[in-house]
Amino acid sequence: MVSQRWFFVLVLLLVVLPVPLQAQYGYHFGRNKIQYEDFDWHVLKTEHFDIYYYPEMQELAENGAHFAEEVYDELENKFSFSLNHRVPLIFYSSNLHFKQTNVTQGFIPDGVGGFFEFLKGRVVVPANGNIHRFRRVIRHELVHVFTFNKLSRIMRDHRVPADRFLPLWFTEGLAEYWSGEPDYQHEMIMRDAVFSNYLVPLENMYRIRGSYLMYKEGEAVFRFISEVYGEEKILDLMDNFWKERDFRKVMALTLNEDFQVVSDRWDEWLKAKYYPELEESDAATLIADAVAAGGFNAKPVYYQFNDGRRKVYYVGNKTGYSNVYETEVDEHYRPIDKPRVLIPGERNDKFEAFHLFESRLSVSQDGQLAFVTKSGQHDVVHVYDLEADELGHTYSFDGLVAVYSPAWSPDGTKITFSSIDKSGFADLYLYDIESSALSRLTNDAYDDRDPSWSPDGRYIAYSSDRTSVGQGDHYNLFTYHLDSGTIQYVTYGEHHDFAPNWSPDGSQLIFTSARRDEDGKYGGQDIWIADVELTPDPSPEVASVAPVSMPLRPASQREFRRLTRLTSASFDPVWTEDNRIVFTSFENYRFTIRQLDGLDSLLAAPRQRSVVDLSQASGKHWNFARVGLDEGAERIPYRRQYNLDIAQGQVSNNPVWGTTGGAAMAFSDMLGDDYWYVTLYNTSQTQDEFLRSMNVAVSRVQLHRRANIGYGLYRFGGLRYDITDPDAATEFPVFFETIYGGFGAISYPISMFRRVELNTSLNWSDKEVAIRNVQREALLLSNAISLVHDNSLYGMNGPMDGWRAKFTAAYTTDILYSNVNYFTLSADVRHYFRIWNDVTLASWGLVRANEGREARLFFLGGSWDLRGHRLFSIRGQKMWFTSHELRVPLLRAPSLYLPILAPFGVANLRGAAFFDAAHTWNEDYYDTAVSSQRRAQLGTGETLGAVGAGLRVNLFGGFVLRYDVGYRYSNGFRDRDDKLFKQFFFGWDF
Amino acid sequence: MNKLHLVGIGLLALTLFGCRGLKVDNARIASQDDWVTEGDSPLRQHLSDVQLQPPLQERWQYNAGAGFGPGSPLILGNVVLVATRKGELHAINLESGKRVGFDNFGDALEGTPVINDGFLYIPVGWGKRVLYAYDLANARTHWTKRGIPIEAGLLATEQGIVAVDTEGVITVYNPETGDVFWSQSFGESVLVKSTPLLSAGNLVVVDTKGHVLALHPEDGAIKWTQQLEAPVYSSMSSNEEVLVVPTTRGILYGLDATGGGMRWNVALPDTTVRFSAPATDNETVYVAATDGVFRALDIRTGAEKWTFEIDAAFAAPPLLTPDVVYIGSLGNELFGLDRSTGRLLWETELKGRVKSAMATKENKLVVLTEPRFVYLFETVEGGPYAATP
């Protein structure tokens, strides 16, 4: 479902608007968040935590329990604080399972490591193969838990309203800082920010709110505070938070220095830390030519066609959607054409998503491009025939959830890849295409990734933390010998050695490595070469799929050459047939594809040579401790218990409706699978009317299955304002109605982009339209079926690419008296054509008809649809409407020009030129008995429209303010109002 | 305005301002049993010579409406005085737990006030930044000194009221007039969180950078200094011979109280551990920490005598009675331990965390807990550890 958020809205609307089942605004678009898995949840109760997990990931869950308990003691000291409640930790074994969580209603994009949710204090963390990352994210999220509880306590102690929040850079920076030592990614970002001069000063951190840069800069701020002012100042900052609303003042009084001075000192501290390295470093932009530079680009591979053409393939995101791109290059690897989208991603069921940062591409010698996408509940491997320029087979594998980095065998008959099954551990697999046989090469808790097949077909090189120094989150390179199943070291040391690829002759491995400099911090992630002498293989053996009894072989030495010393980082180098290196470069906060020539001279005069004695590699296995049943934990099956999420009461007074009062409550279980809503309110104006005007609704929404189900009972009584009711007076459509009934709703997602919705309701309705002397009773049965499609891409102000549509058929009948009997057909299609990067032509077509007895009216008018016309002033049982809008950018960051706008979060000022047209009519349109006056009141029978232009701006990242100016047209566009109309509106573009 | 209006206004005023003001009978007559300063004496020993044998029973709870700082409640006569982080000072009847007085000093009261000769001296560290001298006998402010941010507790000496502000300035005020007798500073702007103490004839102050300063109480002349290797945020304690200084980085120092020399230090492997304010007697220092370990150490050598460990952290100082040591935890519990062995004698669950010092008088123990409760516990007649004469 989509967005389950929209399903909630739908269900609530069904409760509130039961009779007009097809209420005009009673539906929404949105993509679907699908629960593919029926998780068998259990709870592991440790000393401080309730850990929710499923049995397939028991080992990981026990590791996670250990990590949580381990950091709990540390955080008690650091925060000088204890938690007085058990913390719920919800674990998933992979990102693909994590994306199905119901703890949050929103979509979880790739790259989200976990989250802490305030309502129930839940922490949700996926593992995804890398146990070090799993550990770090647990620590990160538990810092959030302590921060939140400590700060709440401080505010309550001082009786200060909790209406202020720590800046996000503070909470995320602290969570990063107290979750572990600065890693190589931290150094990569900070070094690049300093060298490329995009470091955002402390006073402007709000401008990068939520970005990865903000996390890393925040972490650097805490390292600075700790080093310069003392670690204790971090708690002082929290202890003093209640003193000032402006956090800059809190920092100033805590650090005893003017805020600007603190900011400047931080800037100087960073420059003093990194600038000395600059003299020895090379910028990738200066030593390597760009192959693909616009947008995000990564994971390149290279192929030379039979006709001599050369192309570089890579995954990228240049427009908002992720795709596989191809760029044709000349013999010097200079692009000779614009990048072309080879595989359009994120728009259809087959290519739902690419793992942009995690999964490499591979091209076989005969031009078969292998790549991975998410497709439904798991990842699949696709093969694209480059010579024939057509998509070939798609391979999916039972039991495997996530798949990464497929690599072809030299003869193109097999594919090896890294994969995660439900246990959450990443291992290597081999798939024989001809026999369709899948075999598992490794089977342990180590993170095996980035496989690459040797040209002679005997070895698979890959990166893994199985090294004896792996417990410290280090990765080395290994070879897997396919004949014997033995695994041997290629590199050894406290490094992060990733992404090996073979030289064409198979004598070298090219890879990236991040290593600590002499000062202890990580240097740039550079390109290295390892001389690989495979026959005879002298390096020690560390593991085997079959027990191997042979002793470690004699010590051997291996030479490594560092080809680059980059200012920032390189990724996924590929050694081409003509001795060039194609790689991904990170510099100036951009990922670009570059090529490095002169490989011979680089090999002859590398930036560094090192020789490693591989006999140091002991081959010793390591593993993290676990907290399981043997360590005192208790395991029980998960049972749903409902806790109050929100309770809200309200009393209002209105000259038309009188005094109304009521309350609404929502309850849900720990996993967010099951929601109950109770609504109670009364609209009586006199004591006698109290029972008659009592409104009660109870509904339930279940989200744990693929099909989301909602149902409920209700009783409504009171005055209703319903502009869709054909019996109601035109000018003042108010009547008294009593309704009893129930409803059911099912939303079944066909894929991420499409779903079927079924809705039904049965209710008894007693309607009294006093002003028209109408009294009507009915037992109404309404059924509807809808098909919804949505692959639109949202910008800051609304959709900018893709299309969405909803087609509905419904039937409503009075099964007792036949007082009501009508059917509904509706088609709503919206298309967004991207003319240029930021320029979109949006087109909307809408056709609707209600036909039959007491068929309800549709309505138009107002800034949402037919602009310039009074809100909902156009009503009819049949209608068509179309709108076309050219959306263009004006200013991306208006607050850069007018800083006073910055506190209001003003962003992305855009312009629009629009054209709207509509026509409504009723079944009695041609009936002379119906007066022209009534037709005029309803605005039926003529084509109306509007033409104009407007401005849109996003506020606080969530609200879009629209302002339109234009001319209103009527009588088939023959008449135009003399005056311009002007309209404000809050809401996304259609 | 007719008479009815006047009566109404009068009733409203009574409702709003009833009990406003802190008046204590016989305020100027403090007994030996009264707890008039943090830790009961200028040595900050947190030591009582009155038997308080567990099990204790809860006599009353009082809702103070806001949380408490690390400081201590005070007891004068039959009144418990409690300062809150909302800036209020509550006077509570020791026997009944009913409020007998109340006043609002505007902003958070972080440091412990001190009672001296019927006057209550109250530091307001933020907002108004005022040092109040409050006449408890007449329930009125006697004098004020504005613009002085004090977050540490106050010290009453023969020379006057000693206050150390958050910029590292030590000032002694005339208790009667508020005039400054003398003033001294650390030489730079430094934050002081630790309540000063008086030991071996020295007025000792320590800042959050670990500078220890011993001054002559009469003129503020510097007698000795000591630089510790870790910040100090909690109050010190001394038995006149050894000065025990807790730090935030897993180190506890024992200094010579007379000359400031280093006698011993206890350095834990985990440098993130924060020691809370210790309690001392002639033989032993009792100190708790955020690692959840409560330690009894030989005060002359720092050697460990016994430890008591729990799952939650400790952040408050203990309170010593002749046979029993009481300690509250951040895990909402209050423990009574055998003072000589550390054996758990009694424990009880509280409504919230204990992060403030305690006070005792006769057979009563006053405990401040989160979120805003004052507990009074007292001994049970006939219990296994009934009070001894």
Judged by CB atoms closer than 8 Å, whether chains meet at B85 and A243 is answered as no
Mutate to test the interface with B, among A80, A239, A242 (most CBs of B within 10 A): A80
A975 plus A922 within the same structural domain? yes
Residue with tokens 């040595």: B43
Judged by CB atoms closer than 8 Å, whether chains meet at A77 and B331 is answered as no
CA distance A726 to A850: 11
Last residue of a domain, one of A833, A868, A896: A833
Question: Which residues of chain A are within 8 Å of residue B126 when distances are taken between CB atoms?
Answer: 243
Residue B239 lies in a domain: yes
| Domain residue limits at A679 | 1-36+642-833
Question: Which residues of chain B are within 8 Å of residue A143 when distances are taken between CB atoms?
Answer: none
Residue B145 lies in a domain: yes
Judged by CB atoms closer than 8 Å, whether chains meet at A159 and B65 is answered as yes
A265 plus A410 within the same structural domain? no
Question: Which one-letter DSSP state was computed for residue A48?
Answer: S
- Residue A457 identity: G
A646 plus A703 within the same structural domain? yes
Last residue of a domain, one of A238, A259, A279: A279
A197 plus A265 within the same structural domain? yes
Query: Cα dist. A11→A8, A742, A757, A761, A888 in Å?
Result: 5, 12, 11, 12, 36
Residue A891 lies in a domain: yes
A409 plus A273 within the same structural domain? no
Q: Residue B111, Cβ neighbours under 10 Å: how many? A: 28
Q: In degrees rounded to 5, what are phi and psi of residue A365? A: -65, -25
pLDDT of B387 over the 50 cut = no
Smallest Cβ–Cβ distance between B248 and the set A84, A153, A232 belongs to A232
Q: How high is the pLDDT of residue A257?
A: 94
Interface check for B353 against chain A (CB to CB < 8 A): the answer is yes
Residue B297 lies in a domain: yes
A271 plus A290 within the same structural domain? no
Question: Which residues of chain A are within 8 Å of residue B371 when distances are taken between CB atoms?
Answer: 153, 156-157
Residue A127 lies in a domain: no
Question: Which residues of chain B are within 8 Å of residue A47 when distances are taken between CB atoms?
Answer: 311
Q: Report the chain A residue with the minimal C-alpha distance to residue B271.
A: A77
- Alpha-carbon Rg for chain A, nearest whole angstrom, is 32
Judged by CB atoms closer than 8 Å, whether chains meet at B274 and A47 is answered as no
Judged by CB atoms closer than 8 Å, whether chains meet at A47 and B311 is answered as yes
Chains A, B: CB contacts within 8 A come to 73
Compute the nearest-CA separation of B247 from chain A (Å).
11
Interface check for B329 against chain A (CB to CB < 8 A): the answer is yes
- Residue A951 identity: L
Q: How high is the pLDDT of residue A23?
A: 43
Q: What is the CATH number of the domain that holds A683?
A: 2.40.160
A653 plus A736 within the same structural domain? yes
| Domain residue limits at B114 | 20-377
Residue B352 lies in a domain: yes
A266 plus A342 within the same structural domain? no
- Residue A964 identity: D
A270 plus A295 within the same structural domain? no
Q: How high is the pLDDT of residue A168?
A: 95
Residue B177 lies in a domain: yes
CA-closest candidate to residue B118, choices B130, B104, B135, B132 = B135
A179 plus A194 within the same structural domain? yes
Residue A735 lies in a domain: yes
Judged by CB atoms closer than 8 Å, whether chains meet at A256 and B189 is answered as yes
A603 plus A455 within the same structural domain? yes
Interface check for B352 against chain A (CB to CB < 8 A): the answer is yes
What is the domain count for chain A? 4
Q: How high is the pLDDT of residue A543?
A: 52
Question: Which residues of chain A are within 8 Å of residue B191 when distances are taken between CB atoms?
Answer: 236, 256
Q: How high is the pLDDT of residue B388?
A: 40
The answer to whether residues A103 and A39 touch, using CB atoms and an 8 Å cutoff, is: no
Judged by CB atoms closer than 8 Å, whether chains meet at A73 and B291 is answered as yes
What is the domain count for chain B? 1
Smallest Cβ–Cβ distance between B272 and the set A47, A78, A81 belongs to A78
Q: Is the dihedral of CA A199, A202, A205, A206 positive or negative?
A: negative
Residue B389 lies in a domain: no
Q: How high is the pLDDT of residue A109?
A: 86
Residue A671 lies in a domain: yes
pLDDT of B17 over the 50 cut = no
CB contacts under 8 A, A 134-163 vs B, are 153, 156-159
Q: How high is the pLDDT of residue A902?
A: 67
CA distance A345 to A336: 24
Q: Is the dihedral of CA B215, B218, B220, B221 positive or negative?
A: negative
CA atoms within a 13 Å half-sphere pointing along the CA-CB vector of A461: 27
Query: Cα dist. B38→A110, A615, B115, B278, B357 in Å?
Result: 55, 63, 10, 12, 8
Q: Report the chain A residue with the minimal C-alpha distance to residue B168.
A: A256
Residue B322 lies in a domain: yes
CA distance A769 to A734: 7
Q: What is the CATH number of the domain that holds B242?
A: 2.130.10.10
Residue B190 lies in a domain: yes
Judged by CB atoms closer than 8 Å, whether chains meet at A84 and B290 is answered as no
| Per-residue pLDDT reduced to its tens digit, B216-225 | 999 999 999 9
CA-closest candidate to residue B281, choices B29, B26, B44, B2 = B44
Interface check for B331 against chain A (CB to CB < 8 A): the answer is yes
Q: How high is the pLDDT of residue A736?
A: 87
CA-closest candidate to residue B71, choices B81, B58, B61, B60 = B81
CB contact burial A460-489 (16+ within 10 A = b; e otherwise): bbbbbbbbbbbeebbbbbbbbbbebebbbb
Residue with tokens 């009893």: A740
Give 10-residue mean pLDDT values along chain A (990 residues).
50 46 59 94 96 97 96 94 95 96 91 92 95 97 97 93 91 97 95 95 89 96 97 96 95 95 97 93 95 95 96 95 96 94 93 93 97 95 97 96 98 97 96 97 96 96 95 95 93 96 95 94 95 59 45 63 95 95 96 94 93 78 87 91 89 67 93 95 81 92 96 91 74 84 96 95 90 86 96 92 96 91 96 93 96 89 91 90 96 72 75 96 66 74 94 85 95 93 91
A473 plus A405 within the same structural domain? yes
CB contacts under 8 A, A 202-241 vs B, are 230-232, 236
Question: Which one-letter DSSP state was computed for residue A261?
Answer: H
CB contact burial A377-400 (16+ within 10 A = b; e otherwise): bbbbbbbbebeeeeeeeebebeeb
Instruction: Classify A862 in phi/psi space as left (phi over 0), alpha (psi -120 to 50) or beta.
Output: left
